[in-house]
């Protein structure tokens, strides 16, 4: 086997453990949090350090989650071909990778700033310990703790830039927290049978699809309001605020439509649009 084949083999085995799209989106929020307080000019070295530390910490947490949930993944059609579930790598290999990435990411973060390191560690703690190990298999409300962990990268980036946790950082964290239900609950409706087979409690299984759709609609409103408020406080231009308002209105319209005229197609459209909304909003915040 030549070098290129070895690299491709390693990539096919290990790269899926990082859930690259999810990790990238959270990484963008962290960079946006930093850039909301610091201009990009003369800060490229720090941005690279933020990106590297967050990538390793987020990626490590994701690998640890997949290591622990390998039994669930094996019985869900959506996830049964993941590397651990399909036995392309061993649990020991995945655990080692997750620990190394997590430790390196958190350690790097603490070297940059104790406060930054503490927030990055909190994200990993809430995600793996509170959400995955403790609550995910017990209650549908685990999603709240998952949302908190998802909000830690943007809070960490902001805290590193200004040296403290302020109301803007907290509001950005709330924006991500309120966005999470739109992202996750639409997913749990689309793959309802998979979650049932794995015996994972979700809002659709515990409270029904109509209540879940209303929850998504309310959460979408709160996410858009939080993002808009944070953008206003950091001094976004009128044009950027207007574009965020348009993006938020689109999110709200889709959420309300999913309540009034529910369908699998609308549910999946809302799921996709929610990710695009968050990505675009964070890019506007970063590129102001």
pLDDT at 6 over 70: no
The share of the chain scoring above pLDDT 70, in percent, equals: 96
pLDDT in tens, 100-132: 999 999 999 999 999 999 999 999 999 999 999
CB of 220 within 8 A of CB of 252? Answer: yes
Q: How far apart are CA 138 and CA 199, in angstroms?
A: 9
Q: Which residue has the tokens 């309001």?
A: 225
Place of tokens 């049932």: 196
Give the tens place of pLDDT for each residue, 270-284. 988 998 999 999 999
Query: Across residues 68-93, what is the average pLDDT?
Result: 93
pLDDT at 5 over 80: no
- For the chain, domain boundaries: 12-141, 166-288
Note if the pTM is more than 0.85: yes
* pLDDT at res. 1: 57
CATH architecture of 12-141: Orthogonal Bundle (1.10)
pLDDT, position 12: 75
Indicate the class that CATH gives domain 166-288: mainly alpha
In the prediction, which pLDDT does 3 show?
62
Using CA atoms, how far apart are residues 62 and 25, in angstroms rounded to an integer?
13
- Reported as a single tens digit per residue, the pLDDT across 217-227 is 999 989 999 99
Residue 68 tokens, joined:
């622990």
């Amino acid at each position: 086997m030549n070098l290129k084949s070895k690299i491709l083999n390693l990539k096919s085995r290990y790269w899926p453990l990082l859930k690259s799209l999810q990790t990238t989106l959270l990484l963008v929020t962290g960079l946006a949090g930093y850039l909301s307080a610091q201009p990009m000019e003369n800060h490229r070295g720090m941005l690279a350090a933020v990106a590297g530390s967050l990538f390793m910490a987020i990626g490590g947490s994701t690998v640890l989650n997949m290591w622990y949930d390998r039994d669930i993944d094996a019985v869900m059609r959506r996830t049964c071909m993941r590397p651990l579930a399909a036995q392309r790598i061993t649990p020991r290999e995945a655990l080692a990778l997750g620990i190394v990435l997590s430790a390196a990411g958190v350690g790097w973060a603490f070297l940059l700033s104790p406060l930054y390191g503490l927030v990055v560690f909190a994200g990993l703690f809430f995600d793996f310990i509170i959400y995955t190990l403790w609550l995910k298999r017990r209650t549908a409300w685990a999603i709240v703790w998952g949302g908190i962990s998802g909000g830690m990268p943007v809070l960490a980036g902001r805290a590193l830039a200004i040296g403290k946790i302020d109301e803007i950082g907290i509001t950005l964290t709330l924006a991500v927290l309120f966005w999470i239900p739109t992202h996750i609950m639409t997913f749990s409706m689309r793959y309802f049978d998979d979650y049932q087979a794995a015996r994972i409690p979700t809002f659709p299984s515990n409270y029904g699809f109509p209540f879940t759709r209303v929850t998504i609609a309310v959460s979408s409103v709160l996410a858009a309001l939080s993002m808009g408020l944070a953008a206003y406080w950091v001094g976004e231009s009128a044009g950027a605020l207007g574009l965020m308002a348009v993006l938020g209105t689109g999110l709200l319209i889709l959420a309300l439509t999913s309540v009034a005229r529910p369908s699998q197609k609308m549910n999946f459209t809302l799921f996709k649009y929610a990710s695009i909304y968050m990505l675009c909003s964070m890019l506007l915040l970063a590129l102001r």
